[in-house]
Homo-oligomer: A and B are copies of this chain.
Amino acid sequence: MDPNPAVLLDLDGTLVDSVYRHVVAWSAALRARGYDVPDHRIHAGIGMGGDRLLSWWLGREPEDAEELRRDHKRRFLDGVDTLVATAGARELIKDLERREVPFVIATSASPEERGALLEVLGRPELAATDNDEGMISKPAPDLLLAACEELGATPSDATFVGDSPWDGEAARRLGMRFIGVRCGGFGDEALRDGGAFDIVDAPADLVGRL
């Protein structure tokens, strides 16, 4: 229907079922250093840029921020080989390729995590726009803007598929359509508050529709 339907796909939590693992990895890293953040608050932060998380949870950037981020990454990557793709993630990508819809994966995951997550998808070669130096991370729209530039698309003609309200907020700032998937465990209310134009269970529900 859209004459130029460019599609941006979030990776972590949207194409790979990874959110709960991130929660538990962050929870363990924080508690090991004596920080007390409830797990549901950890969950609520997932999806914003990794550089923002600690100050969002703790009210300030702690002195041992680097150690905490390293510890989270180690714990997360430790179980990465047992992660699985979300329902229909592989099929959605194949569908977009088959119908020649311009799309790109837009992710703020670190290079190491991104590589591991693309391996879970069985598509390590897929193009992905990531958070370059100088970009402000989600919910700032920089990443989505860079992804649009890569595709030669205008933001208002593009659709972003993501699992967190932070994805929605980034899209909203560009007037971009945001479709929320429930597979990250954010409730419908949070996704609607994040500006979701539509909410579906998983990528499987979007095959043939983007």
Q: For the complex, is A21 an interface residue (Cβ under 8 Å from B)?
A: yes
Give the number of copies in the complex: 2
A40 adjacent to B185 (CB under 8 Å): yes
CB of A7 to closest CB in B, whole Å: 22
Q: Which of B31, B43, B87, B189 lies in contact with A82, CB distance below 8 A?
A: B31
Q: For the complex, is A28 an interface residue (Cβ under 8 Å from B)?
A: yes
Chain B residue nearest in CB terms to A44: B185
CB of A199 to closest CB in B, whole Å: 12
Chain B residue nearest in CB terms to A24: B24
When chains A and B are docked, how far (Å) is the Cα of A82 from the Cα of B39? 13
Contacting residues, chain B, for A184 (C-beta < 8 A)? 40
A31 adjacent to B189 (CB under 8 Å): no
Contacting residues, chain B, for A21 (C-beta < 8 A)? 24, 39
A-B contact pairs, 5 of them (CB 8 A): A17-B38, A28-B82, A31-B84, A186-B187, A188-B189
